[in-house]
Chains A and B, each alone.
Chain A
């Protein structure tokens, strides 16, 4: 092994192969409680795509597993090296290579964080955000992992246009029209092809099929005028139909639903504020941001607002522009990364997420399922956060439950694991679709119930990664 490390040091330079115990430890586990720890051999930090290629070629030659990591933030066990090997940390490849106002895109390297990316707002541009993305989180990781975005009115919904991927063999694949690079007839913005839709295959792959070193991603224009509306209710069911209507009429920009715990925790500046805020809020809040766009902004906002209020007439829950004086904070929440310690860690220190895709009309049912199981297992429901993100004009939604706990408390830790597994199983049996299966438990369940999918994934894996070096042990590999 030390021979391998030396060779890697020759490829990358001494300072870019790290073996300190603290660094190794930091990659051996993450905030998820799902899987056991495993220590990598070393952490490599390439700075260019050529260095990435050489590193990969090296690992391929010597059949050393490698785990790509771009983010400084890990919650789901994705980058824990299940079978050992090295970490390829792309955080030093962090340039915003260019942004293009006219064509609404930016080309970014894998290590670009949301904190960096939101600087585009100063140029009148709006990056596409998931909810409260940690500031140190890699944008590309978030998009590749299909984290839901806050703006469901954009039907196309996938933010990645083209990518540059270092395959497990060390070759480069450029997706979409980046395939013709370099070309005077291209700006590398077409997401499909060539041949097959490689973009889709690499998404959700948890780094098992290749290393994405850079991508051109969509950005939008920052609306010049915004107005937030809130629909508050103690019943989730009451918000479902209004949500469908809002999406049906293509109104609003950002749109999401949070329960009181999640919303209070996000907006609180410190732990002690959470309960205070929580008491002010209804159990559920639907947040819609109406925007004036970029042209005739006041007229646009007026049109949106009048339409919005008209279509919601007749529902029991009425919209309000007020939310206990928290309106400005909410807008910031929607349009920037989350600064400092991640909000989910504020309350108890740790958390376990359970998320899946479903349809809006089923969300009350799933909430009841979680309520019932949690109660049976003695996990208090008022310690469960809930976030619902409509997708693609309300055609589906991402539903996310967060179980907060203190990992230093062994009893809580055991309970969390048990609760998590039971909830996942019941939700799975109830039709929740886990499109992003993290951790061994969920992956196993997912692929055992769809053997054909697993088999074809393995065939695809064999094509890309015949030596199975890329993040082995994840998904069904």
Chain B
């Protein structure tokens, strides 16, 4: 059925009002691109952008999409390339009018939020109430709800779960327009629990990463919060670039340790997990640590040169979860580092590092890795046991060092859930003007290598499911069936989570 743009526009206008829908090219241009390799390559304007204010409006929009057979994409802060339209006449749902923190339950430690609440906003409000949640690598200005649906990889995953585990009750508009409520939300206004009843349908919302808007729109979500023993707010002095945060010294502390080999470092990671100490734990390549500190490529290269004898180090954060725990953490860390032939860098040498704590907590430093080159993307990203991650890393690094020497690469490895498994990202820094095509080629090779070598990828989405599926027990066949069941008209951000036009 041919799409009648004007008819759709009028229906959308009737739903949300004339001020909250647009098909003007200048407006649409701002929803056409993201900064990832794929995002730069797949630039496309959607057909419409609409700003709903309620779940009823969302339902109506979804029904319009179904009736007129046009795709829709619910977006958060639009950081990820899956927010970009794949097909013409796509309706983007921008949730700026649904930006309320509906509830913070201090005792039971959760918040109920609408889609456009950002991490910074939620953390700031939570801190006033003795709670917090870590900001993920995407930064404090991303949507909590969207990120919990999509990824939720943050610096404290050693102890606080990856956000796939942190979703509680949910209000979900299915691709058909029907509302589905998960967990306790299905029985009243209390969103405190997400499982069931019976089989846990939160399992349909995401895998290691999410369905990328391909299975409908979540309009309300409860997320876990965690006890915060720090101040109610950050108090800052000065202005950028000299702004400092007055942060209590006894609340958190960062430690750095170096080891003679990566294997020794990984052994230390295991021991730290076994001892169940600390809030945050990473094995970082030196390149990863230096990138956010450098303001230019030259400065970055100078830093790398200065630290060229140190390939990587462990970064450990102790946090005052109870009055005396930090002292215990320090002693155990010292012991473990020594037992694994490492060297714990003395406090006085890492004094300035402590200034990074509030930045880590509130902003997540990671977006500052854009500084040296301007372009950044993930080459490979896996989850597995720490030992196997190390094997995978060696393989992939060797490949990059041989075939793509011009890219600066870096990695971080983080144990999850006190070392039951881990996650690693091997990423590249590139110049987006001169190296975009090469970066894309490199990434495409990466996913194929994952399939050939049967490494368990964390970031698979869209076409990747069909590339990886045959090596992963053909799960993509089931995924395709689920998509077809829930989205029979294939209007919810096709081709995500999987392309149903393929057989």
Residues of A within 8 A of B (CB): 102-105, 146, 154-158, 161, 172-174, 176-177, 179-187, 189-206, 208-209, 218, 221, 244, 248-251, 293-296, 299-300, 303-304, 306-307, 310-311, 357, 359-361, 392-396, 428, 431, 433-437, 443, 446-447, 449-450, 452-453, 455-457, 459-460, 462-464, 475-476
Provide the residues of chain B in CB contact with A463, threshold 8 Å: 478, 481-482, 485
- Nearest 10 interchain pairs by C-beta: A200-B203, A193-B207, A435-B196, A183-B454, A201-B203, A200-B200, A197-B203, A177-B456, A195-B479, A179-B472
- What residue of chain B has the Cβ atom nearest to residue A197's Cβ? B203
The verdict on A359 contacting B108 (CB below 8 Å), with A103-B385, A296-B331, A395-B192 known, is yes
Whether B92 sits at the interface, judged by CB under 8 Å, is no
The verdict on A357 contacting B384 (CB below 8 Å), with A198-B203, A303-B327, A395-B109 known, is no
Contact at B485–A197, with CB atoms within 8 Å?
no
Provide the residues of chain B in CB contact with A194, threshold 8 Å: 207-208, 456, 460, 465, 468-469, 472-473, 475
CA distance A152 to B205 in the complex (A): 25
Provide the residues of chain A in CB contact with B207, threshold 8 Å: 192-197
Contact at A185–B198, with CB atoms within 8 Å?
no
CA distance A166 to B324 in the complex (A): 49
Contact at A173–B478, with CB atoms within 8 Å?
yes
The verdict on A195 contacting B274 (CB below 8 Å), with A307-B322, A360-B108 known, is no
Contact at B180–A453, with CB atoms within 8 Å?
yes
Contact at B332–A206, with CB atoms within 8 Å?
no
Contact at A186–B456, with CB atoms within 8 Å?
yes
Whether B40 sits at the interface, judged by CB under 8 Å, is no
22 contacts between A and B (CB under 8 A): A102-B387, A103-B386, A104-B273, A104-B274, A156-B161, A177-B456, A180-B456, A183-B456, A185-B456, A186-B455, A187-B387, A190-B421, A196-B207, A197-B205, A294-B274, A300-B328, A359-B108, A395-B109, A395-B110, A433-B190, A447-B197, A453-B181
Contact at B485–A299, with CB atoms within 8 Å?
no
User: Tally of A-B residue pairs with Cβ under 8 A?
Assistant: 312
Contact at A189–B270, with CB atoms within 8 Å?
no
From residue B319, how far is it (CB to closest CB) to chain A in Å?
10
- What residue of chain B has the Cβ atom nearest to residue A455's Cβ? B178
CA distance A224 to B41 in the complex (A): 56
CA distance A132 to B420 in the complex (A): 25
Contact at B325–A307, with CB atoms within 8 Å?
yes
Provide the residues of chain A in CB contact with B270, threshold 8 Å: 102
CA distance A22 to B310 in the complex (A): 70
- 8 extra interface residue pairs, beta carbon distance < 8 Å, beyond A194-B207, A435-B183, A460-B201: A176-B456, A180-B471, A187-B385, A194-B468, A195-B465, A203-B200, A295-B271, A463-B478
Contact at A186–B485, with CB atoms within 8 Å?
no
Residues of B within 8 A of A (CB): 105, 107-110, 159-162, 164-165, 174, 178-184, 186-188, 190, 192-193, 195-209, 211, 224, 226-227, 270-271, 273-277, 321-325, 327-328, 331-332, 335-336, 383-388, 391-392, 417-421, 453-456, 458, 460, 465, 468-469, 471-473, 475-476, 478-479, 481-482, 485-486, 497-498
Contact at A186–B388, with CB atoms within 8 Å?
yes
- What residue of chain B has the Cβ atom nearest to residue A476's Cβ? B198
CA distance A209 to B200 in the complex (A): 12
Provide the residues of chain A in CB contact with B108, threshold 8 Å: 359-361, 394-396
Contact at B456–A179, with CB atoms within 8 Å?
yes
- Among A209, A394, A460, point to the contact of B109 (Cβ < 8 A): A394
Contact at B385–A196, with CB atoms within 8 Å?
no
Contact at B472–A359, with CB atoms within 8 Å?
no
- What residue of chain B has the Cβ atom nearest to residue A199's Cβ? B203
Most buried by A among B181, B187, B202, B226: B187
- What residue of chain B has the Cβ atom nearest to residue A196's Cβ? B207
Contact at A161–B421, with CB atoms within 8 Å?
yes
Provide the residues of chain A in CB contact with B419, threshold 8 Å: 103-104
Provide the residues of chain B in CB contact with A294, threshold 8 Å: 274-275
- What residue of chain B has the Cβ atom nearest to residue A449's Cβ? B187
From residue B495, how far is it (CB to closest CB) to chain A in Å?
14
Contact at A202–B199, with CB atoms within 8 Å?
yes
CA distance A184 to B384 in the complex (A): 11
From residue B162, how far is it (CB to closest CB) to chain A in Å?
8
Most buried by B among A172, A181, A195, A460: A195
Most buried by A among B196, B327, B384, B481: B196
Most buried by A among B204, B208, B456, B471: B456
The verdict on A303 contacting B324 (CB below 8 Å), with A177-B383, A205-B198 known, is yes
From residue B370, how far is it (CB to closest CB) to chain A in Å?
27
CA distance A205 to B200 in the complex (A): 8
Contact at A450–B186, with CB atoms within 8 Å?
yes
Provide the residues of chain A in CB contact with B454, threshold 8 Å: 180, 182-186
From residue B123, how far is it (CB to closest CB) to chain A in Å?
17
From residue A174, how far is it (CB to closest CB) to chain B in Å?
5
Provide the residues of chain B in CB contact with A476, threshold 8 Å: 198
Contact at A204–B383, with CB atoms within 8 Å?
no
CA distance A244 to B323 in the complex (A): 16
Contact at A201–B478, with CB atoms within 8 Å?
no
Contact at A296–B161, with CB atoms within 8 Å?
no
- What residue of chain B has the Cβ atom nearest to residue A200's Cβ? B203
CA distance A459 to B226 in the complex (A): 35
Contact at A453–B182, with CB atoms within 8 Å?
yes
Provide the residues of chain B in CB contact with A183, threshold 8 Å: 453-456
CA distance A431 to B190 in the complex (A): 8
Provide the residues of chain B in CB contact with A199, threshold 8 Å: 203
Contact at A359–B384, with CB atoms within 8 Å?
no
CA distance A236 to B205 in the complex (A): 38
From residue A253, how far is it (CB to closest CB) to chain B in Å?
10
Contact at B485–A201, with CB atoms within 8 Å?
no
The verdict on A185 contacting B324 (CB below 8 Å), with A179-B472, A460-B485 known, is no
From residue A22, how far is it (CB to closest CB) to chain B in Å?
32
CA distance A183 to B197 in the complex (A): 35
Provide the residues of chain B in CB contact with A250, threshold 8 Å: 227, 321-322, 325
From residue B156, how far is it (CB to closest CB) to chain A in Å?
10
The verdict on A435 contacting B193 (CB below 8 Å), with A102-B270, A457-B201 known, is yes
Contact at B199–A435, with CB atoms within 8 Å?
no
Contact at A156–B417, with CB atoms within 8 Å?
yes
Contact at B324–A306, with CB atoms within 8 Å?
yes
Provide the residues of chain B in CB contact with A457, threshold 8 Å: 198-199, 201
Provide the residues of chain B in CB contact with A450, threshold 8 Å: 181, 186-187, 197
CA distance A475 to B179 in the complex (A): 20
Contact at A433–B275, with CB atoms within 8 Å?
no
Contact at B478–A180, with CB atoms within 8 Å?
no
CA distance A201 to B182 in the complex (A): 12
The verdict on A197 contacting B164 (CB below 8 Å), with A303-B327, A446-B197, A460-B204 known, is yes
The verdict on A433 contacting B473 (CB below 8 Å), with A179-B456, A180-B454, A449-B187 known, is no
Provide the residues of chain B in CB contact with A221, threshold 8 Å: 274
CA distance A192 to B167 in the complex (A): 14
Provide the residues of chain A in CB contact with B472, threshold 8 Å: 179-180, 194
Contact at A204–B199, with CB atoms within 8 Å?
yes
CA distance A221 to B277 in the complex (A): 14
Provide the residues of chain B in CB contact with A203, threshold 8 Å: 195, 199-200
Provide the residues of chain A in CB contact with B460, threshold 8 Å: 193-195
- Among B105, B184, B206, B453, point to the contact of A196 (Cβ < 8 A): B206
Provide the residues of chain A in CB contact with B110, threshold 8 Å: 395
Contact at B204–A196, with CB atoms within 8 Å?
yes
Contact at B224–A392, with CB atoms within 8 Å?
yes
Provide the residues of chain B in CB contact with A295, threshold 8 Å: 271, 274-275, 277, 332, 335-336
